[in-house]
Copies of this chain bind each other. A is one copy, B any other.
Amino acid sequence: MQPDQGRRAQLVEAAAVEFDRDGYATASIAGIARAAGVSQGTLHRWFPTKHALALAVIDEQNARTFHALQSVDPSPLVTLIRASRGVADLLMTDVVVRAGIRISLEHGVLAQQTASFYEQWIAGVVDVFRLAVASGEVRSDVAPEALGATLVPYFTGVQLVSNVRSGRADLLPAVSTMWQVLVHGVAERTHRRRLLRVVEETFIA
């Protein structure tokens, strides 16, 4: 990593801490510069506006969360189950991911980036559901498009309400329940027992 890139990453990280704690509207350039230990002038040379900083946090969050969808198992649903554990881990440990998702959902000024983030996630998940239907793992009477368009919001709501109720302390069991419902709801009967076992193994904390 070049020194410049290290500095940029450090500023993005400091902004994420502020956004994660205070939200987009309340976080200030002055506070972010202070947290990063740089002058406002230095911060300004890298990111001319708070909006630019927010987009950098969201881009970095996108890169880190999409990475979780890269590990591929021969079973499409196992790929999704493992990916959801990966994103859950990021939400519990990575302030950039937490901040990016928080400010994404505060819509308004970032609405366009947020919509495109969800479209990308849904498209990625739809692709996996297509494989799952083609391989006979998932029932064919619900369209893969509808399944992708319902799994991503389901996970979004689960992590959000878990954050509100317990600061994400119950995130792993909550995602596990989501998968129990989904396996019964969409998997073909002959695959259920195997998939429920994967869910159980995957969400032991």
What is the interface of chain A, defined by CB distance below 8 A to chain B? 21-26, 104-108, 111, 114-115, 118-119, 139, 142, 146-147, 149-150, 152-158, 160-165, 174, 177-178, 180-186
Which of B23, B119, B182, B183 meets A165, CB within 8 Å?
B119
Q: Which residues from B are CB-within-8-Å of A23?
A: 23, 25, 106-108
A139 CB to closest chain B CB (Å) equals 8
B186 touches A181 (CB 8 A): yes
A197 CB to closest chain B CB (Å) equals 15
A22 CB to closest chain B CB (Å) equals 7
B165 touches A161 (CB 8 A): no
Which of B147, B153, B156, B163 meets A107, CB within 8 Å?
B163
Which of B26, B142, B161, B181 meets A108, CB within 8 Å?
B26
A140 CA to B160 CA in the complex, in Å? 27
Nearest chain B residue, comparing its CB with the CB of A24:
B25
A62 CB to closest chain B CB (Å) equals 14
CB contact under 8 A between A152 and B161, given known A25-B26, A182-B185: yes
CB contact under 8 A between A142 and B106, given known A149-B174, A160-B157: no
Q: Which residues from B are CB-within-8-Å of A21?
A: 108
A118 touches B181 (CB 8 A): no
B108 touches A164 (CB 8 A): no
